[in-house]
Amino acid sequence: MKLNKAMAVLAAAMLTTSFASLADVNSGTVTFKGEVRDTPCNLDAGQGGTATVVDFGQLSLSQLNAGDSKYKNFELNLKNCSLTSIDDTDPQNPVTVTKTATITFDGVSKIAGQNLLATSGSAANVAVGIQDITFGTPAALNLRDGDNTLTYSAFVKKVGANAVTAGDFSTISTFEIAYQ
């Protein structure tokens, strides 16, 4: 009798285990990432920082062909800037040092002599620029300790003698903030 009870318990355990292995499951991974930098400011992650997207939306073909440009503002957010420090190399005469900074926008698809970025996609004869920025040339930044918001105005315009054709477009500009 004791053997029958033990066999019944063993059989029940085996059935429970086999049904549990048939249960539906969801699984996945979580990736944690970041970057440690030795810079006076932190650049926001994502929109407004390391991966900013400027969406021009739908543009008028006739207006672009007539020479009009469409402008769209975008921001880069620098957080927790610490630009001033004390140089106490000479303890008798400590000196306050303030770092300066420049930003350089660039792109692999620059149009020679026009300070514009060529676009890819089904739209033709459109290019993108950033007002008051020369691609590949550092521009001085006026930063202060704390948080800083850098505001720029991108634009789309017709390029070349041929008419703009309808479709989607995109291009990529990189930027680098250098501290001195």
Domains and CATH numbers, the chain: 40-179 (2.60.40.1090)
User: Is the predicted pLDDT of residue 17 greater than 60, yes or no?
Assistant: no
Helix (H, G, I), strand (E, B) or coil at 165: strand
112-119 long-range CB contacts below 8 Å, 24 or more apart?
114/159, 116/157, 116/159, 117/171, 117/172, 117/173, 118/159, 118/171, 119/169, 119/170, 119/171
pLDDT tens, 101-153? 999 999 989 998 899 999 999 999 999 999 999 999 999 999 999 999 999 99
Query: What percentage of residues in the chain have a pLDDT greater than 70?
Result: 82
pLDDT tens, 26-53? 666 665 666 677 788 888 888 888 889 9
Residue 48's pLDDT is: 84
User: pTM for the full model?
Assistant: 0.75
Residue 131's pLDDT is: 96
Query: What percentage of residues in the chain have a pLDDT greater than 90?
Result: 57
Residue 50's pLDDT is: 85
Residue 127's pLDDT is: 94
User: Is the predicted pLDDT of residue 24 greater than 90, yes or no?
Assistant: no
N- to C-terminal Cα distance for the chain? 87
